[in-house]
Structure 1
Amino acid sequence: MTQVDTLDTPLGERRLSKLKWRCRRGLLENDLFIARFFERHESGMTERQAQAMETLMDLSDHDLMDLFMRRTEPDAGWADADVVDLLRLLRV
């Protein structure tokens, strides 16, 4: 299996559970965006999306909220195409 194939495999239950725990935030507003995302997409979530989510979770709560609210856009220095794609899903 190639690296690309591995990234596109669905998340297992344990990995998904750990990711949800990692996504808990200090701002309720961020939690609402993230909870809505998981309600809609967790059943088909891939490792690629999980890695993009991990990148977003490295941001501060206020920086993350600014992205969700479209006050800022992701910086090309840390956000690759997978992060941008995931952010689109989170913003819907």
Structure 2
Amino acid sequence: MFTEKRYARLKWACRRGMLELDVLLQPFVEEAFHDLSDQDQETFERLLTCDDPDLFAWFMGHQQCDDPALAHMVSTIVNRVKV
């Protein structure tokens, strides 16, 4: 379970400085994060530890993430934007 302090750190970590990532991650954490399962919340937190060039490549579909859990989270975020 995420405490308010941990959630605040997570929101801060969504500020990447790359507009393409910011417009995906910030709304997701604010609007959809609390609806995720505990496991998916942990995966999202782990996703934020990845390097920006990797995140950009995964979100834009230029590369596939080798980690199945992270790939699922990327897909979840992208599909939410498409709706």
Q: TM-score, normalised by structure 2?
A: 0.73
The within-5 A match list for 1:1-92 is 10-75=1-66, 79-81=67-69, 83-92=70-79
Contact 2:15 2:26 in 1 (8 A): no
Larger fraction in helix:
2
Unaligned runs of 5+ in 1: 1-9
Unaligned runs of 5+ in 2: none
| Amino acid corresponding to residue 9 of structure 2 in structure 1 | K
* Higher gyration radius (CA): 1
Q: TM-score, normalised by structure 1?
A: 0.67
Name the SS for the 1:63 alignment partner.
Answer: helix
The whole-number CA distance in structure 2 between the counterparts of 1:52 and 1:85 is 9
Where in structure 1 do 4 or more consecutive aligned residues deviate above 6 Å?
none
The whole-number CA distance in structure 2 between the counterparts of 1:32 and 1:85 is 19
The aligned length equals 79
